[in-house]
Amino acid sequence: MNKQGKLTGVGLGPGEPELITVKGLRALQAADIIFYPATKVGGGNNVSFSARILDALELKVTCAPLYIPMSGKNRADNYQVAFDAIKKEYDAGRHVAVVSEGDLLFYSTFGYLLDLAKKEQMNYELIPGIPAFIAAGSQGVQAIVEGNQAFKVIARPDSFEQIEEALKENVTLVVMKMSVLKDWYLFLKNSSHAFFYIEKVGTDQQFSTTEDKDLECRTIPYFSLIVFYGQKDL
């Protein structure tokens, strides 16, 4: 009788290796193979935020990339190729772990792979991770929401007008994957809203600020977010 495979999704947390959950770390240590999302860049090299976290965890497990481009081009095809690699190991009776930075199902690559796993009726387990905006709350040393405050998240905003409309609701607004828009410095300079900006949270390259002038000449990376704090009801 063939051994049944198992698929475990593990959220790695925002970037600091020690912010992975105990349960997530144990699952990775018990896996036969770990897949992580990566993007191909010029010269045949890989870029992977998740790979850096895995390297720091010093796991004695084979790790392999799943090539998922950050753009939406050919997304369905790329996810199918990635899933086929996972399924091959799963069908061989192996314990397959698939990781994602942050949380598994919050603007994550893993959500698309999970849909495919459900269609195949795979045996799977999901272990959540700390999303970047939660870690940002600690780094900013300010509550993201309190009392009856409302909360909203926008990822890949269409325009600054979209952000302005959201801010009219007097909610705490988190904008993720904010690098799709340019001229953040000008927007923040002309805005009256208090904010906390952070990039590469939990890594040795982390940078944060509450001053618009600090972003005047700064290139906003993909792994960045900004929190606009709503007003507190007294």
Task: State pLDDT tens for residues 23-77.
Answer: 999 999 999 999 999 987 766 667 888 999 999 999 999 999 998 876 656 778 8
pLDDT of residue 105: 94
pLDDT < 50 positions in the chain: 1, 234
Are both 118 and 187 inside the same structural domain?
no
pLDDT of residue 66: 93
Are the CB atoms for 28 and 57 separated by under 8 Å?
yes
Are both 147 and 50 inside the same structural domain?
no
Are both 21 and 101 inside the same structural domain?
yes
For residue 122, give the amino acid letter.
M
pLDDT of residue 117: 95
In which element (H, E) is residue 90 found? helix 75-91
Predicted TM-score of the model (pTM):
0.87
Count of domains in the chain?
2
How far are the Cα atoms of 92, 154, 203 from residue 31, in angstroms, in the given order? 13, 34, 25
| Alpha-carbon dihedral sign for residues 130, 194, 150, 154 | negative
Are both 24 and 88 inside the same structural domain?
yes
**Structure tokens given for 109:** 């690559």
Are both 198 and 222 inside the same structural domain?
yes
Asked if residue 13 is part of any domain, the answer here is yes
Are both 68 and 88 inside the same structural domain?
yes
Are the CB atoms for 196 and 210 separated by under 8 Å?
yes
Are both 84 and 118 inside the same structural domain?
yes
pLDDT of residue 2: 59
Query: Considering 127, 158, 182, which residue would you say is the last residue of a domain?
Result: 127
Q: Count Cβ neighbours within 10 Å for each residue of 146-158 and write b for 16 or more, e otherwise.
A: eeebeeebeeebe
Cα 160 from Cα 157, distance rounded (Å): 7
Are both 119 and 140 inside the same structural domain?
no
DSSP 173-230: EEEESGGGS--HHHHHHT----EEEEESTTSTT-EEES-GGGGTTPPPPSSEEEEEPP
pLDDT of residue 187: 94
Are both 176 and 207 inside the same structural domain?
yes
Are both 13 and 123 inside the same structural domain?
yes
Domain that holds residue 183: 132-228
Would you tell me how many other CB atoms lie within 10 Å of the CB of residue 183? 11
